[in-house]
Amino acid sequence: MILLSRVEDRKAVLGLFHVAQELANNPTDTNFPRLGQMILEYDSPIKKLAEEFGPHSKLLKRGLVSLQNIYPRRNLEADTFRKKQMLSLTAQPGYLLIPARTDTTPCEFLSLDIMERWIIFGFMLCHQFLNNQHTVVDEMWLSALRSSWVITLFRDEVLQIHTYIVSYFDGIKGYGKRISEVKEAYNFAVNNAALMHRERRKFFRTALKEMALVMTDQPGLLGPKALYVFMGLCYARDEVMWLVRHHDNPPQHKGKAKAAEDLTDRQLPELLFHMEELRGIYYLPF
């Protein structure tokens, strides 16, 4: 619905489609009036969706809060990854042969971009739970807003999310403080997000290189440490996609001059090489 709302002449396009369909198939589509009414009602999609999700807001919040043990662990700074020795097979030599496992295995491969979309759009629909009291809900909300200034809608269609949220909250009485909070998150993202993600890519280059060396030398570890390999590939994929998305869609208001440099990564081919190398190890006939 957000994609549709961005088409300025959507009513004219919808009318032309109806006429073309009628000329091609003779009988009039009986569902067209319902479709037209939906297009008119969802002229402001988030506002209408928030009304529709009203009875389900508590259930929606419960689903979003379930990410509290997953999303913060994925959205760490590079220094924290290093301190925790994430993705390191040699950090604890005594556990090399013990299979790696976690209670949230399916979520370890989940795209960070998808989780941030869930958090941002989800809490836009149940914004009454954002209470500015530094709860888990507020921390996830602000963390997602500080990590990017655009999010993916579909393929290469992106949304300047902070501007969109401000325009939505601007129509709600008493949300001045929350609007200021979103603007501060935008300034933080423009000035710091590119550097943060650049440092993450640097960490993943080293981590994947080390992992590929160990797996090539000791292919027997591919079994017990398969989870580490898949996690490393998924984490690196997220960073590559973040760079591509933000390089093609610079911020509307420029931040630090160095931010543009952080969006140009001359060492990206090295990261892609290690990703492909690690991926290829699983196809080798040992």
- Tell me: do 209 and 181 sit in the same domain: yes
243 and 102 in a single domain? The answer is: yes
Q: How many domains does the chain have?
A: 2
133, with CB counted inside 10 A (0-12, 13-18, 19+), is exposed
Q: Are residues 210 and 113 part of one domain?
A: yes
Same domain, 96 and 11: no
Claim: this prediction has a pTM higher than 0.85: yes
The pLDDT of residue 259 = 67
What's the CA gap between 51 and 45, in Å, rounded? 10
- Domain-embedded: residue 286: no
* pLDDT of amino acid 155: 85
pLDDT digits (tens, 9 = 90+) for 48-72: 888 888 888 899 999 999 999 899 9
Based on the fold, state whether residues 116 and 24 are members of the same structural domain: no
- For residue 17, being part of any structural domain is answered with yes
Residues 19 and 110 in one domain: no
Shared domain for 118 and 244, answered yes or no, is yes
Q: Which residues of the chain have pLDDT under 50?
A: none
| Same domain, yes or no: 68 and 206 | yes
Q: Is residue 230 part of a domain?
A: yes
Q: Which pLDDT score is estimated for 71?
A: 94
7 and 101 share a domain? no
Specify whether the backbone of 265 is left (phi greater than 0), alpha (psi in -120 to 50) or beta. Answer: beta
Helix (H) or strand (E) holding 158: strand 157-160
Domain of residue 240, residue span: 44-281
| 56 and 28 share one domain | no
Q: Same structural domain for residues 33 and 57?
A: no
- pLDDT tens, position by position, 100-128: 888 888 888 899 999 999 999 999 999 88
Which are the contacts of 152, defined by CB distance < 8 A and separation ≥ 6?
Answer: 113, 117, 158, 245
Other CB atoms within a 10 A radius of the CB of residue 217 amount to: 8
Alpha carbons 143 and 137: distance in angstroms, whole number: 10
The answer to whether position 163 is within a domain reads yes
Say if residue 14 is in the same domain as residue 130.
no
Give the span between the Cα atoms of 257 and 44, in whole angstroms: 35
The residues near 189 (Cβ < 8 Å, ≥ 6 apart) are 145, 146, 147, 148, 149, 162, 251
